[in-house]
Amino acid sequence: MAVQSPARVHGKYEQPTASVRYDDASVRKIPFRNLRLADFTWSVPWRRFRSVHGQAHYSGRYASVTMAGPVVYESRLELARLLLADMDPAVRGIYAQPCHMTARVGNCVRRHVPDFLLVMESGVVRVVNVKPEARLADPRIAEALAWPRELVERHGWEYEIWSGEDRVVLENVRFLAAYRRPGVVPRADIERAWECVQDGDRLAVAERRLAAGRPEYEARPALLALVWSGRLTTDLSRPLSGEWVLRRSA
């Protein structure tokens, strides 16, 4: 189902648009073809976050290191994607509910609010929609996600539909997120760990070397903070143990 170009459409919605809400409560409506990353400076989520007793969905605010502030989410699955983005060193910006997209698709006017917009270190912009895999089989859901893909990719941005990750990976990322905030582990301890760990060390070996006579559990937080930041990498598909093999990033 194709998004019609301005030349083929007449009436109120003559071209696809993106409406962006800002922190001064203003809203700017931008032709999608003119949308730029700079348009999201000082933007806020399109939907106003709220949490009420008895609501069916799980929502909240996540304290993102990437954004040095809160990023909203509206489901546990969205939170999982948000954690992965926050840990990814290649991600330099995370915008939740970045805009309200409007386009004429066939004979209907369609509207959509993406879940996230990710800004990559490479300069690539990626629009992300989070949906449980079971719901993707619903033709209505598939149709609702198809026209935003066409519009985004035609604009030269990437488009992602995310439905989950390996359970062990997510459990590891959730655990490592405890070490994400500056000051949780003293910076001096982190730098000392970085100087001590050798490429290919098992976690238990690096802990013993770093502890230098202290209890080994005292050395682990600094090493895990390095894994969260991406300075050290390991196979996150394996449960956390002293057998984790640590690799120094380039």
Contacts for 187 with CB less than 8 Å, ≥ 6 apart = none
pLDDT tens-digit readout, 159-199: 999 999 999 999 999 999 999 999 999 999 999 999 999 99
pLDDT value at position 114? 98
- pLDDT at 7 (0 to 100): 42
pLDDT digits (tens, 9 = 90+) for 55-75: 556 889 999 999 999 999 999
Residue 51 pLDDT: 60
Q: pLDDT class for 9, splitting at 50, 70, 90?
A: very low
Q: How many domains are contained in the chain?
A: 2
Judge if 153 and 177 occupy the same domain: no
The shares of helix, strand and coil residues in the chain, as percent rounded to the nearest 5, are: 35, 25, 40
Is residue 240 in a domain?
yes
Query: Residue 151: exposed, middle, or buried by beta-carbon count in 10 A (0-12, 13-18, 19+)?
Result: buried
Mean pLDDT value across residues 3-20: 67
Q: How confident is the model at residue 8 (pLDDT cuts 50, 70, 90)?
A: very low
Q: Are residues 68 and 178 in the same domain?
A: no
- Locate 128 and state its tokens: 């992300």
| Two tokens, residue 177 | 């997120």
- Kindly state whether residues 102 and 172 are assigned to the same domain: no
> Model confidence over 39-50: pLDDT tens digits?
999 999 998 866
Domain boundary among 131, 162, 193: 162
Q: Are residues 48 and 93 in the same domain?
A: yes
Whether residue 188 is found in the same domain as residue 73: no
SS3 category, 113: coil
Has residue 1 been placed in a domain?
no
Tell me which residue range forms the domain holding 119: 6-162
Q: Give CA 152 to chain center in angstroms.
A: 17
Provide the strand spans (E) within 65-216.
69-73, 91-96, 100-105, 108-112, 116-120, 125-130, 158-162
**Rounded mean pLDDT, 20-25:** 97
CA distance 193 to 175: 19
Q: Quote the percentage of the chain above a pLDDT of 90.
A: 86
Q: Dihedral through CA 49, CA 55, CA 58, CA 63, nearest 10?
A: 30
